[in-house]
Amino acid sequence: MTRDHYDLIIHNGTAVTVNEHLDIVEGALIGVQKGVIATVTSRPAGAALPDAAVVIDAGGGIIMPGLVNTHTHLPMTLFRGLADDLPLDVWLNEHMFPVESQFITPENVKWGTQLACLEMLLSGTTTCCGGYFHEESVAAAVTLAGLRAVLAQGVIDFPAPGVPDPALNVAHASAYVEQWLGREANITPSIFCHAPYTCSGETLVAAKTAAREKGVLFQIHVAETEPERLNSLKEHGLTPVQYLDGIGLLDENTLLVHAVWTDHEDIELMRTRKVKISHNVESNMKLAAGIAPVPDFIAAGIAVGLGTDGCASNNDLDLFAEMDAAAKIHKAVTRDPTTLDAATVLKMATRDGARAIGLGDVTGSLEPGKQADLIVVNTDRPHLVPMYEPHSHIVYTMRGADVNTVVVGGKILVKDRQPVTLDQEEIIARIADIADQIRKGRPK
């Protein structure tokens, strides 16, 4: 070990790198300089620690990349559990759209997003991707929290919070992107069209054109339910994926969210267009949308990440639970217990997720040159012993509540399970007030 000086080192743990070879490094030493991982090595027993401004002792636990949530709607924490066990159209039209039009103000978005960031950080998520309205308020709150994020302004052909005139929806999103491009190191702006059935062809094309011009990710919910697929076939003579392709929306900077109702031709199309996919298995189960053919996506070489979806349809932002569900459900569906093994699922929640949202070179693994986005999990807990295989342990046994330390870009955001950047007490108090307003004022 040379006498390098680091801004931060993390040592005394097993590093689950999720690099290309899925290397596991026992007795790991990770050195960070200027927010970037400089070295991932095994420290010889008894060797002195290198110089470092800050030292994190992993206490013999697991050191792993922070998790990447490829799809969520952060402020929807405000509606966690507000309307459950309902069909998607009833849930969306009779509950979500009405409460959103009434309660989604910049101020409420700010607090809902702070709550989401708190929950994500405390459950080991360091990067998230999603879209909503008043997205400038979302981006400001995420900046305060310190997470890495791809944050999109939502586009829909109805009057929406902050965008009363739908004719201006794409212009509004473009202005948001302009405003946030290059502004904060951790925030990448993006544009999110709600769905092919809530945006006209003109809107979709204009939004993708704007995203393309600015070089940002274009996101869209697509093929979530069977009725959506059937309606698309009826209306356009095309599957939802074919329809989007026909109007030129599919390329390597397009993230298709859900993609549940996709067939082999759709998959071949998605593969050749190099689109990315966000798989939201818990939301798809809870809303009874169906189960996306993820093993086929992966076999086709398409980058697939995991997403929690918004809190109103999950009802949490815990990617550990999402990994467990994803690993299990596809075994049940394919009737093959070797489907989506633990390492594959962990990759989806880290490096492949990062790739899916355009941050593959930035985050998602413990490798020199990537941002120091990592978490430490203390494994000295009853439900985490014994441990025979770390990848299995992470997917099938660990939960968000097991995360002790969270680092993003070399900055410690959670220490001993306490948030560093956010004021938990204040956030919970403000959320209580907003929830009271919602309880009293929501349409019955």
Residue in this structure with the two tokens 């549940």, named with its chain if needed: 260
> Nearest distance from residue 189's CB to a second copy, in Å?
26
The neighbour count for residue 405, using CB atoms within 10 Å, is 24
Q: Which one, 390 or 410, has the nearer CB to a second copy?
A: 390
Encoded amino acid at 339, one letter: T
Q: Which one, 126 or 169, has the nearer CB to a second copy?
A: 126
> Nearest distance from residue 319's CB to a second copy, in Å?
12
| 374 burial type by CB count under 10 A (0-12 exposed, 13-18 middle, 19+ buried) | buried
Q: What's the token pair of residue 284?
A: 């798809």
Q: Which one, 50 or 66, has the nearer CB to a second copy?
A: 66
> Nearest distance from residue 381's CB to a second copy, in Å?
8
Reported as type and span, the H/E element at residue 394 is helix 390-396
The span from the CA of 328 to the CA of 395, in Å, is: 10
Q: Which one, 207 or 431, has the nearer CB to a second copy?
A: 431
Q: Which one, 53 or 288, has the nearer CB to a second copy?
A: 288
> Nearest distance from residue 12's CB to a second copy, in Å?
16
> Nearest distance from residue 421's CB to a second copy, in Å?
13
Q: Which one, 73 or 172, has the nearer CB to a second copy?
A: 73
> Nearest distance from residue 354's CB to a second copy, in Å?
23
> Nearest distance from residue 439's CB to a second copy, in Å?
7
Beta bridge partners of 374: 65, 407
Cα dihedral 365, 371, 372, 376 sign: negative
Q: Which one, 299 or 428, has the nearer CB to a second copy?
A: 428
Give me the DSSP letters along 230-298. HHHHHHHSS-HHHHHHHTT--STTEEEEE--S--HHHHHHHHHHT-EEEE-HHHHHHTT-----HHHHH
Decide if 70 contacts 255 (C-beta within 8 A). Answer: yes
> Nearest distance from residue 337's CB to a second copy, in Å?
4
The span from the CA of 40 to the CA of 19, in Å, is: 11
Give the contacts of 328 (CB within 8 A, at least 6 positions apart). Answer: none
Q: Which one, 111 or 180, has the nearer CB to a second copy?
A: 111
